Amino acid sequence: MTGVPASATGGTGRPAPRGKLGAAAVNQASLWNIANILTMIRLVLVPGFVILLFQDGGHDPAWRAWAWAAFAVAMITDVFDGHLARTYNLVTDFGKIADPIADKAIMAAGLISLSLLGDLPWWVTGVILARELGITLMRFWVIRHGVIPASRGGKIKTLAQGTAVGMYVLMLTGALATLRFWVMALAVVLTVVTGLDYVRQAIVLRREGLAEERAAARSEAATR
């Protein structure tokens, strides 16, 4: 975007208030902006990553290194696309839907593929994916009362998961193989702890929302 659209100034040449200008910029954001392009690249990398990982039976160090590169690029785009969208007012409905799908798709592809290859216990994959699915459903459960914000613990959890899966994709041996075990253990612990914290927040948010609705209903009834 090279400038402010005329509609954002109300056609008078005077700048609109900041809130209206921000809204206008969001509304004018093109589908083909850099943030959405990075999200689409990440979606395309999901099948590419799986194909690379399973080449030659899934245990060839060279192909695993290429698969790791695809996974690393996907995780890097995850860091930048949301930041770019918020910073430069490139938020679109497509991005709101596609970004979380891409995030979960690349992580699920990594976990399930590693378990299919026998490199990662299925219970680890099950715990992480169950948490992610459960939290997503819980967000929808309480969405009419408010939005549960992403916590710092959740961001650290995502970093730990990405690092651990990336280390398992590589054919590591010795001390590095031991290290990746502990990184994955940390990721699982953070997954469970942050998941329980989201459950607590959802319960509190829903309870407060219901209390406000009851108070509003009583106030409305009293004024009739």
pLDDT digits (tens, 9 = 90+) for 146-191: 767 667 788 899 899 999 999 999 999 999 999 999 999 999 999 9
- Rounded Cα–Cα distance for residues 104 and 139 (Å): 15
**HSE toward the beta carbon, residue 170, CA cutoff 13 A:** 18
CATH number of 34-216: 1.20.120
**Triad 195, 81, 43: Cα angle to 5°:** 80
Predicted pLDDT of residue 15: 42
The string of DSSP codes covering the chain is: --S--GGGGTTTTSPPPHHHHHHHHHHH--TTSHHHHHHHHHHHHHHHHHHHHTGGGGT-HHHHHHHHHHHHHHHHHHHHHHHHHHHTT---HHHHHHHHHHHHHHHHHHHHHHHHTTSS-HHHHHHHHHHHHHHHHHHHHHTTT---PPPHHHHHHHHHHHHHHHHHHS---HHHHHHHHHHHHHHHHHHHHHHHHHHHHHHHHHHHHHHHHHHHHHHHHHH-
Q: Residue 21 pLDDT more than 60?
A: no
N- to C-terminal Cα separation, the chain: 51
| Single-letter residue type at 169 | V
b/e burial code for range 43-64 (CB count within 10 A of at least 16 → b): bebbebbbebbbeeebebeebb
Taking the CB of residue 84, how many other CB atoms lie within 10 A of it? 19
pTM of the model: 0.75
**How confident is residue 29, by pLDDT bands cut at 50, 70 and 90?**
low
Binned at pLDDT 50, 70 and 90, residue 12 comes out as very low
> Are 205 and 148 a contacting pair, CB within 8 Å?
yes
* Interatomic CA distance for residues 210 and 198, integer angstroms: 18
Query: What local confidence, expressed as pLDDT, does residue 104 receive?
Result: 87
For the chain, the domains span 34-216
- 23 vs 39, residue with greater confidence: 39
pLDDT tens per residue across span 108-156: 999 999 999 999 999 999 999 999 888 888 877 877 777 676 677 888 9
